[in-house]
Chain A
């Protein structure tokens, strides 16, 4: 691949190989699907007001894969919930296809961090749910649901109940359930957060595969830097207290992505930049209690493990 040629020229995460640059130019020429303008969210509690989000603005283009990343308390989940219409906001605008969003709707599908399959419905019935709610008959919804189950590779589990599935399978059903409605965008709020590392890696690759094959724009919330770089076209980095946009990073890692790119120059440069943004050294000491150890030895002086 082009790895050797780019390794020489790339020194910063801002440098892009020509094909990556061309891709981003093409992407930005696409229509804007989601536009967030000066979004502000203030929680009123007994102790006073907490600003969860402050003047957050960004645009997402059609079929883009955006990751939103930030330290805990940066309001990334709140942002996802506002986009889904599950939470109100205090100021600014959220526009989908140029129209203000009002409450939850089928044009913004969502996959949650927790498992939210309907336990009384079989896997297939879960996928059919959205179609039924939007007025499609069971006879029509059934084959449609099967098609999407096939897409996530669970066609054999159509008649199983959610409690019979593993965590990764449940999230695949949740993805199929959201996609069957053919939403304009798919919001994913740390969907793989509860999965083990291996399942997680498989799910990431699987998600990219789905994204490549269907007309969907994805907004993906995560706190995992590797996950964000692996998946995203662009990464929106938020800071905490209050939640503000720090930077919108264009990921220079070329597509299609593989796990073996994780040590590429582009990947590491991007990761270094994210680290610097999210875990700056001074910041850590200010906000978090450092772990202070006063070691007392409880074992024999001669009994060393290292």
Chain B
């Protein structure tokens, strides 16, 4: 059957695109930034504010492989020409902190294939694994307390009134501010790092989950009560199963927040994990490694979220607007 499409434009207000278009736009969302990056890196006259010196000529302070400001290079070039000396030669280049895509790709490959330059240095995946462990424990400890408390707050007004004002206050305190304190209490290794993630996640978690719990359609609770459900049974049999899908979605978002606290957390005490890797590589001006490491965090974040989304979809098959017509 031929389907008549009468809303075929790309910019219809709140209309979903066709499947092919979704795919195209989805890829474009990644390809566009990469394209911009490629343009800046490979098209010689886009940006390129510096010159990579290839032949020093007679300029006494130039060195081969040195990056020099375009204006200064031009000035020296003119100077040498005027004095009849050997002129320097060079290629337009970007600053060292912006490596080209292929360099980052190579660094990414090397990070997994060649041993680290420093003897005591860690492989990137080892650093990453450390970071993932910190996130895992931080998020787990926060959730063990935060999820039940959030559900209780959203269910019983008395608990909400008792806990929420203080939590509301506490969540404005920046988690990194507790760094020194946590080191004093928990030592210099993983303890304070996990603690920072817990502090950064827990308070938001309680508030977000209590809000989600409050959004459960009250008429479901009323219906359950007219079926003879006791006060305490309601929590287990109506509230918890009813909010589970939204709660799962909240947890996915909160896990993302936990990652944002990671970098600060890992600088506390002895730095470790992916942060140590990044700061070390930056110190040696291996910026392509820095980019590779940052992108890996992105990949891990996005792929865990996609996996969790997929698991959620199969876990909550019933989760479609059921009580609306």
- Report A's interface with B, CB cutoff 8 A: 84-86, 103-106, 108-110, 112, 114-121, 129-130, 132-134, 161-163, 167, 170, 174, 177-178, 181, 187, 194
**In the bound complex, how far is the Cα of B262 from the Cα of A205, in angstroms?**
64
CB-defined contacts of B237 to chain A, threshold 8 Å: 129, 132-133
Interface segment, one of B148-156, B164-172, B215-223: B215-223
Determine whether the beta carbon of B318 is less than 8 Å from that of A161.
yes
Contact B322 A117 (CB under 8 A): yes
Closest approach, in angstroms, between the C-beta of B251 and any C-beta of chain A?
17
Besides A85-B225, A121-B318, A133-B227, 5 more A-B contacts (Cβ < 8 Å) are: A133-B233, A163-B321, A167-B325, A170-B323, A174-B223
B229 in the interface (beta carbon within 8 A): yes
CA–CA, A178 and B226, complex, Å: 8
Interfacial chain B residues near A129, Cβ < 8 Å: 224, 227, 229, 237
Closest CB-CB distance, A83 to chain B, in whole Å?
10
In the complex, 27 of the A-B residue pairs with CB atoms within 8 angstroms, ordered by the A residue number, are A84-B222, A104-B226, A108-B226, A112-B219, A112-B222, A112-B223, A115-B322, A115-B323, A116-B219, A116-B220, A116-B223, A116-B323, A117-B322, A118-B220, A118-B238, A119-B242, A121-B318, A129-B237, A133-B229, A133-B233, A133-B237, A161-B317, A163-B321, A167-B325, A170-B323, A174-B223, A187-B226
8 closest pairs, A vs B, by CB?
Answer: A106-B228, A119-B322, A130-B227, A104-B225, A116-B223, A115-B323, A163-B322, A110-B226
- Residues in B neighbouring A105, C-beta threshold 8 A: 226, 228
Main secondary structure of the interface of A (DSSP, over half): loop
Closest to B317 in A: A161
CA distance A174 to B223 in the complex (A): 9
Contacts of B322 in A (CB 8 A): 115, 117, 119, 161-163
The answer to whether residues A120 and B318 also contact, given A108-B226, A115-B323 and a CB cut-off of 8 A, is yes
CA–CA, A167 to B238, complex, Å?
22
Contacts of A104 in B (CB 8 A): 222, 225-226, 228
Q: Which residues of the other chain, B, contact A163 by a CB distance below 8 angstroms?
A: 318, 320-322
A86: which B residues are within 8 A, CB to CB?
222, 225-226
